[in-house]
Structure 1
Amino acid sequence: MTGSIDYVAKDGRAYITINRPEKKNAMTSAMLDQLMDGYDRAEADDDVRVVVLQGAGDDFSTGHDLAEVGTEYGATTYDDKGRPRKPSQRARLLHDKRYIERFERIFKFLKPTLSLVKGYCLGGGLYLAEASDLVIAADTAKMGHPEQKLGLSGAAYFAAWEMMTLGPRKARELLLMADVWDAQTCLANGLVNKVVPRASLEDAGEEWAERIVRLPRDGIVMGKAATNLAMNALGIDAQFSYGHVLHALATNVRYEPDEYNFMKQRRDKGVRASNHEREAFYTEKEKA
């Protein structure tokens, strides 16, 4: 199964569900395109006053499918001696610009957005939650940017928003340490609005959605427009201008012999094994 993005609109709500539970809702590029289609539909439907984003199964989303990471810049090219060449900077910038525009689309969406987070919410999945206006988390939520251990070390699409929300030091901790925070830690640091028991997550989402849909349509849209203007005045949305540049540079790092090269290990051992080795590399160093 490659997964899907499911869309249902009713009672003033658009429910968008990331549906790939067997992979913890890791998203392929095709799924991310489907996700944008869902937001386009919701924005065009005058009866929709709030978008509720959720994941199927036990998790929200572990972000971009790591099986695609490293190949998203296009097919490998070779020099005249048959040696593989790295993707060009122009290919990197073009892809990363298109990638960040998806999160910007949600961030600047013209209607209120609510994410219901349970289980893992990592990497690109966390960006989806951060791009939403409101986040309710289940007590099972685990949120963070472990993908920073691929070598990014702070080149994040939502770095400005995270600094505003968490404060500069906690934002740097989230990215540089690349830890996964539990629900209460996320609540204490402002990543989520509230935490509820897992069994109550959907009910809590319905309660807030109902309160939003009772507001007038024009009031909802003008309120969101005011929010977007405030974000612009604070300089937060500047992250969408520089994020893809920093990401393109960060994905072109040179690994020294004593450093963990995830891309090379994934090529040789596969995604699952290289993921475990990556985590062990850092935790074993910490214990040493």
Structure 2
Amino acid sequence: MADLEFHREGHIAHVRLNRPQGLNAITPEMDQAMYDAWREINADPDIWAVILSAEGEKAFCIGADVSGGTDRDGRMALAGGLTGIGGPLVTCRKPMIAAVQGFCVGGGFELAMCADIIVAADTTQFGLPETKVGIIGECGVVHRAVRQLPYHIAMALILTGERIKVAEAARYGLVNEVVPYSDLAEAARKWADKLLAASPLAVQAAKDAALGRLGYPLDVALATRFEAIEAYEAAADRLEGLAAASQRRKPVWTGR
């Protein structure tokens, strides 16, 4: 079995870390496989949603595999570029659900925060242990945490290296749903089905707009013209949405 599994199920792409014996720490070979997966996902118009998951109950991911040292040669950012840690940032344009469990720490925590929706098993613990073990790099896995969590909560994680359990993370809005580990895959699939019920092109345009002006003042974001949204005006799915509404039926999306 490959350390990184990638397959399609209808309109859903599954990307699964499969190295439970190493707590799903990401090797350079896994980085490359993930990079190839993100490229294919972005390029394939028939992929409308992504589920990111990991094998084994003990850990979703503990970050980069540093068993051979901390120098990864800067070949690409962690997780095939998705995190932007250690190299150029690669953006997944399709909506992504992360299904996490056990230890979700360091670069693994950063990877989960790259998703748009997080479903967590009740066994999950989140943390940024870098300062505690003295291996923090120039960038550090800190920037998403301080944007996605309340400032004092994020800074406590960053500065102390301590972990928080999933119930506490849920209180801070970090995760969308907490379920027993046995229900994790089913819960992620239900979220994917919710995404598939929406217009795929509208979803992708909305994600592009939201992330494209995330760090800008509101007045700048409101004044921005977004190419993906403007292109959607001519899409067949937009016309299908209007027709379905007038005919009081469910739309049948084509992603075109």
Does residue 103 of structure 1 match 2:102?
no
Q: Residue in 2 aligned with 1:184?
A: 167
| Richer in helix (by share) | 1
**2:11–2:49: 8 Å Cα contact kept in structure 1?**
yes
Q: Offset of 1:214 from its aligned partner?
A: 1.8
**1:54–1:60: 8 Å Cα contact kept in structure 2?**
yes
Number of residues paired by the alignment? 212
**1:158–1:124 Cα change, 3 Å:** closer
Q: Offset of 1:41 from its aligned partner?
A: 1.4
Please list the CA deviations of residues 222-279 of structure 1 after superposition, one character each: whole Å capped at 9, or x if unmatched. Answer: 11111112314269xxxxxxxxxxxxxxxxxxxxxxxxxxxxxxxxxxxxxxxxxxxx
- From 95, 103, 120, give the equivalent of 1:120: 103
Q: Residue in 1 aligned with 2:122?
A: 139
Q: Residue in 2 aligned with 1:217?
A: 200
Greater RCO (Cα-Cα under 8 Å, separation 6 or more): 1
Distance 2:42 2:96 in 1: 11
Aligned ranges for residues 191-206 of structure 1 at < 5 Å?
Answer: 191-206=174-189
**Runs (5+) with no aligned partner, structure 1:** 74-94, 236-288
Please list the CA deviations of residues 7-63 of structure 1 after superposition, one character each: whole Å capped at 9, or x if unmatched. Answer: 111121001000101111111111112111111111111111111000011121111
Q: Residue in 2 aligned with 1:57?
A: 56
Please list the CA deviations of residues 118-166 of structure 1 after superposition, one character each: whole Å capped at 9, or x if unmatched. Answer: 1111111111101111100000111111123232569654534322322
Aligned ranges for residues 194-273 of structure 1 at < 5 Å?
Answer: 194-233=177-216
**1:41–1:138 Cα change, 3 Å:** same
**2:82–2:91: 8 Å Cα contact kept in structure 1?**
no
Q: Offset of 1:106 from its aligned partner?
A: 7.6
Percent identity of paired positions between Structure 1 and Structure 2: 27
Aligned ranges for residues 33-182 of structure 1 at < 5 Å?
Answer: 33-58=32-57, 59-73=59-73, 95=74, 98-99=76-77, 101-104=81-84, 108-151=91-134, 157-182=140-165
Please list the CA deviations of residues 156-178 of structure 1 after superposition, one character each: whole Å capped at 9, or x if unmatched. Answer: 54534322322221111011110
Return the TM-score normalized by structure 1: 0.67
RMSD: 2.4
Return the TM-score normalized by structure 2: 0.75
**1:156–1:119 Cα change, 3 Å:** farther
Instruction: Find the residue that maps to 2:60 and give its secondary structure.
Output: coil
**1:106–1:128: 8 Å Cα contact kept in structure 2?**
no
Q: Residue in 2 aligned with 1:270?
A: none
**Runs (5+) with no aligned partner, structure 2:** 219-256
Instruction: Find the residue that maps to 2:192 and give its secondary structure.
Output: helix
**2:77–2:89: 8 Å Cα contact kept in structure 1?**
no
**1:160–1:23 Cα change, 3 Å:** closer
**What amino acid does structure 1 have at the position aligned with 2:69?**
V
Instruction: Find the residue that maps to 1:233 and give its secondary structure.
Output: coil
